Amino acid sequence: MPASYFPTSVLQNSVKLTTEPPRGLRANMKRAYMNFSQENLENEHKPLIWRKLLFGFAFFHAVVQERRKFGPLGWNIRYEFNDSDLETTNTMLKLFLESQDEIPWDALNFVTGEINYGGRVTDDLDRRCLLSTLRIYCSPEILKDEYRFSPSGLYYAPSDGKIEVYRDYIDSFPLNADPEIFGMHANANISYES
């Protein structure tokens, strides 16, 4: 609202600050794990499951954000996924793990894929792509140490550990992720770079 005691010229000469989402899979994961502390990784009910799924959902979030760089190869419509989607997913994950003895995989996939992220998705093919991508990171296989997110085996949910273990692993990611982690052929980089 306008205020007579605040000079308009100050507003006209001001600088607007915004926070842009990080670019790159590594940068997205670093940002997610910079917001976490060791206390965030603790869960008295199912600690190993919590940490593996927390990493899986953070990785999923980074992947769906980075698919945008491929334009129409990534998503038919450009979606603005943000940190609140990941925060809501992590909150729901914690509630599901604390309230149920067995992991409700179907409920986790539905709430995350259809509601948290899927609520933004308006294209049917994009929705199918989103749900297929989510099944890589939210399935019983993620709890196995030998499970890999990509055929190259470079990306996986680390074994249980301290926050530094996760941060060090994320620092080992390549600066430019191969299209395989996004479920695309290596030629996708050609259209992205041109």
Identify which of 153, 155, 193, 156 has the alpha carbon closest to the alpha carbon of residue 73: 193
**How far apart (Å, rounded) are the C-alpha atoms in residues 1 and 167?**
44
pLDDT tens, position by position, 110-121? 999 999 998 889
Rounded Cα–Cα distance for residues 127 and 89 (Å)? 17
Q: What is the pTM of this model?
A: 0.85
Cα–Cα dist 142/183, whole Å: 17
Which among 161, 151, 177 has a CA at the least distance from the CA of 59? 177
169: alpha, beta or left, given left = phi > 0 and alpha = psi -120 to 50? alpha
Per-residue pLDDT of the chain (194 residues; tens, 9 = 90+): 667 777 777 777 776 666 666 788 999 999 999 888 888 778 777 888 889 999 999 999 999 999 888 888 888 998 888 888 999 999 999 999 989 889 999 999 999 999 999 888 999 999 999 999 999 999 999 999 999 999 888 999 998 778 899 999 999 999 888 888 888 877 777 666 65
Domains with residue ranges and CATH for the chain:
22-193 (1.10.8.720)
pLDDT for residue 191: 65
